[in-house]
Chains A and B, each alone.
Chain A
Amino acid sequence: MNDQIVEFSNLLRRNGIRVSPSENMEALRALELVGVGDPHGFRTALRATLVKRFADMRLFEELFELFFLGFGKAVAESDRRLMAQLGLNPKEFQEWLEQVRSLLEHRKDHLSPIARALLAGDMGQVERLLREAAATEDGEAVERRVSVGVYSHRVAVAIQIDRVEQETADFLAWAESRGAAPEILERLARYLDERLKALSQLLRELAEQELRKSGQTPPGRERLEYLMQKSFSYYTAEDIRRMNEVVTQLARRFKNLLSLRRKKADRGRFDVKDTLRKNLQYGGVPFEIQLDRRKREKPQVIVLCDISDSVLNASRFMLQFVYSLQELYSKVRSFVFVSEVGEVTQLFEENEIQTAVEMALKGEVIDVYCHSNFGRAFDMFYREHFSAVTSKTTFLVIGDGRNNYNSPNDWVLKEIQQKAKQLIWLNPESRLTWGFGDSEMARYVPHCDFVEECRNIEQLYKVIDRIAA
């Protein structure tokens, strides 16, 4: 048991779930307490001691099934499908299996071990044979990081799947030659067909399991990592939906980092003047002490996000980020612009994320069918919302700075920088192209405390760390 748990923890680690040695020990202790006779308790005990992040729970369930339950689930599913197809209840199905087995008995000399086990529905034996075949393949294939398809194909070759198919066909022909009734034959044909399907499904399952055991990332994760580096501008709608989780994490991280920066909680200092004043009523005896409690500073954020066509995908993503930020934080105000500026704070508050972002992009608050005009947007922001900027404000501009040769109005940024705590500009365009054509970045950059290229999530992560450092 001990070894098995240690090995299982290793499997979790290889798949990116952090398990510490002390947690490992605790898992063992917990298992002693629930006892091995309780499968449900067994699973719960491992979950409670080894998996501490919600995001990892699903993966834990998958790995648990893979490690402790083997093919059990796939086999059960295949049997259920068979019963439905043949229109049999479990008892009748069992009887049918008996019939098939007795037929197989007559043909045992013409069937390879795996075909016999498969057709008899002896799936445990099938699993053992498959794993044996895989064991001989194993090392090399895994080393070279082959795909599930390639791996399962190799094992299929190793067990001579062609032969299994041939033998199955022969078996059916033989049954026919023996004069079986047409309806029995038809049922048998369906039965055999489903068994062959189950075999190829098991092969895939096996491949997935083996590859994953060796620590190759499951497909879902791989995709996330890939998305981390993919430029926003190439995002598909599907990508954007998938990013939800990551975006929320990012926003949380941002919030945490900002709050970390705040001074460590200060219990306040003795305030002589206030104390004396307050205690005049007690004849100057200081009954109530006055501490000079400095106000805790709540960081405030104002976001100004470009949603013009040139950066549409990036803004869709960044708006998701802004939305999550706003959800975590009471003091965020969000604005979007193409040429005129509109506030979306309330729109974000009242709608769920996808809808809210789409509404913002589709021109719910501003005209989006016009050309980018940063200068005009800045000027308008200055006239209508400048009073929202305070000395505690972190001001975030998101956009490519492409101004269609309009007047840049960079003085607004200067004003904002002077009044705000910090002014940050994130640009979804490659730094190499800044300042060329109608890009006004060269004029805007000097007024920012911090400017960064931000074309994918990985960069955004780094940016967030830098901002808060």
Chain B
Amino acid sequence: MFRSIDDVIRRLGEQKYICNKNVATVVYLACAMQKPVLVEGPAGVGKTELGKVLANSLGLELIRLQCYEGLDEGKALYEWEYAKQLLYTQILKDKVGEILQGSQSLKQAVDRIAKEDDVFFSEKFLLPRPLLRALVAEKSTVLLVDEVDKSDTEFEAFLLEVLSDFQISVPEIGTLRAKHLPLVILTSNNSREMSDALKRRCLHLYLDFPEPQREMEIIKLKVPGVGEKLVEEVAYLLQRLRKLDLKKKPSISETLDWVKALTLLNMKRLDDQLVQETLSTLMKYEGDIRKAEEELKRYLADRKTKLHAAAVESDKDLLH
């Protein structure tokens, strides 16, 4: 586990994940308090990544449950491995025959087979899905319940039960209790509000677009060889772009794609022509691109008139 908040920052950093104090504090608390974290925020700001690097940095197995509309208990918890059960009955045909020997009626035969039920409905034939795997694992794990807002409300209720008791009952077997509490990270893009009950169970973390400093660090880490000047310009331009009224604001992953493209094109500083041509890696809506182009023009004009430095200052102020 983590020794302190700074320890979180350092060890996630080793996994190439740059987190601010805010994030680190919540992660630290979650580990120490053994509480799930609900991470909310726009797409592409590193919610899923946080779950992954957390597992790596703690040296724990990552178990991921990707949610979607229609996800049900069977897919999330367990299913009976029917084919295997059948295979066994086929192989054990003779044995089955023995048991059935001398049955007077069909009913008697069925009863005799039923007595052997628990052979076939035992853990051996249970196919564990992510939730069960996290519960029965021999070591503690990181359970990443990704995009939980995409699941249905019924599934959310079921999930809440599991997260409250950390035990589940399989009618044929009995109750299975977690040997080790998993560290649970739930992510949500906020496409719907999760229930109050679920939220009460969790610590809450809102991940937002990164501050310019952090975004610069991330870019340098993820796009090796990128020029210092370019990184700086990109980070500040993005701050400006995200303030526009866009249908979809560019996220960290899109920033990274864009910078990679710019680097491939051997750009050292932002200039009009190439930037316009590559803007489509950053935004996908026509209207957004148009607004971004206008903002870019303003940005370049500002840069010319040396307003750049001042803009940087005011951006910093707004963020703190």
> A23 CA to B5 CA in the complex, in Å?
21
Which of A255, A259, A328 is packed against the most chain B CB atoms within 10 Å? A259
- Once A52-B200, A285-B86 are accepted as A-B contacts, the answer to whether A33 and B29 lie under 8 Å apart by CB is yes
A350 sits at the interface (CB 8 A):
yes
Contact call A352/B204, Cβ cutoff below 8 A: no
Interface mask (A283-294 → B, CB under 8 Å = 1, otherwise 0): 001111100000
User: Which residues of A have CB within 8 Å of B82?
Assistant: 289
A-B contact pairs, 22 of them (CB 8 A): A20-B200, A23-B200, A26-B35, A30-B29, A30-B33, A30-B203, A33-B29, A41-B21, A44-B21, A47-B204, A49-B29, A52-B196, A52-B199, A53-B193, A260-B152, A260-B154, A262-B152, A286-B86, A287-B83, A352-B246, A352-B288, A353-B247
B190-231: which have CB < 8 Å to A? 190-193, 196, 199-200, 202-206
**Shortest Cβ distance from residue B82 to the other chain A in the assembled complex, whole angstroms:** 5
Interface mask (A50-67 → B, CB under 8 Å = 1, otherwise 0): 011110010000000000
B147 sits at the interface (CB 8 A):
no
Closest chain A residue to B79, Cβ basis: A267
Query: Which B residues are closer than 8 A to A by beta carbons?
Result: 5, 21-22, 25-26, 28-29, 32-33, 35, 37-38, 40, 69-70, 72-74, 82-83, 86, 90, 152-155, 190-193, 196, 199-200, 202-206, 245-247, 285-288
Contact call A29/B33, Cβ cutoff below 8 A: yes
User: Which residues of A have CB within 8 Å of B196?
Assistant: 18, 52
User: Which residues of A have CB within 8 Å of B200?
Assistant: 20, 22-23, 52
Contact call A45/B202, Cβ cutoff below 8 A: no
- Once A48-B204, A285-B90, A352-B246 are accepted as A-B contacts, the answer to whether A265 and B73 lie under 8 Å apart by CB is yes
Contact call A34/B40, Cβ cutoff below 8 A: no
Cβ contact of A57, chosen from B33, B83, B206, cutoff 8 A: B206
Cβ contact of B21, chosen from A26, A40, A52, cutoff 8 A: A40
Contact call B247/A249, Cβ cutoff below 8 A: no
Cβ contact of A265, chosen from B72, B193, B199, B288, cutoff 8 A: B72
**Shortest Cβ distance from residue A36 to the other chain B in the assembled complex, whole angstroms:** 14
Contact call A256/B288, Cβ cutoff below 8 A: no
Q: How large is the interface on A (under 10, 10 to 19, 20 to 34, 35 or more residues)?
A: 35 or more
Closest chain B residue to A22, Cβ basis: B200
> A351 CA to B191 CA in the complex, in Å?
18
Cβ contact of B29, chosen from A48, A262, A286, cutoff 8 A: A48
User: Which residues of B have CB within 8 Å of A40?
Assistant: 21-22, 25
**Shortest Cβ distance from residue B57 to the other chain A in the assembled complex, whole angstroms:** 19
List 8 A-B pairs, minimum CB-CB distance, nearest first.
A52-B199, A352-B247, A265-B72, A44-B25, A48-B203, A52-B204, A48-B26, A252-B192
A125 sits at the interface (CB 8 A):
no
Cβ contact of A51, chosen from B32, B33, B154, B204, cutoff 8 A: B204
User: Which residues of B have CB within 8 Å of A262?
Assistant: 152
Contact call B287/A351, Cβ cutoff below 8 A: yes
> A49 CA to B199 CA in the complex, in Å?
10
Contact call A252/B245, Cβ cutoff below 8 A: no
Closest chain A residue to B247, Cβ basis: A352
> A249 CA to B200 CA in the complex, in Å?
20
**Shortest Cβ distance from residue A264 to the other chain B in the assembled complex, whole angstroms:** 6
Contact call B33/A33, Cβ cutoff below 8 A: yes
Known: A41-B25, A351-B247. 10 other contacts (CB 8 A): A26-B203, A33-B28, A33-B32, A34-B28, A44-B25, A49-B204, A265-B73, A287-B83, A288-B83, A352-B245
Interface mask (A402-414 → B, CB under 8 Å = 1, otherwise 0): 0000000000000
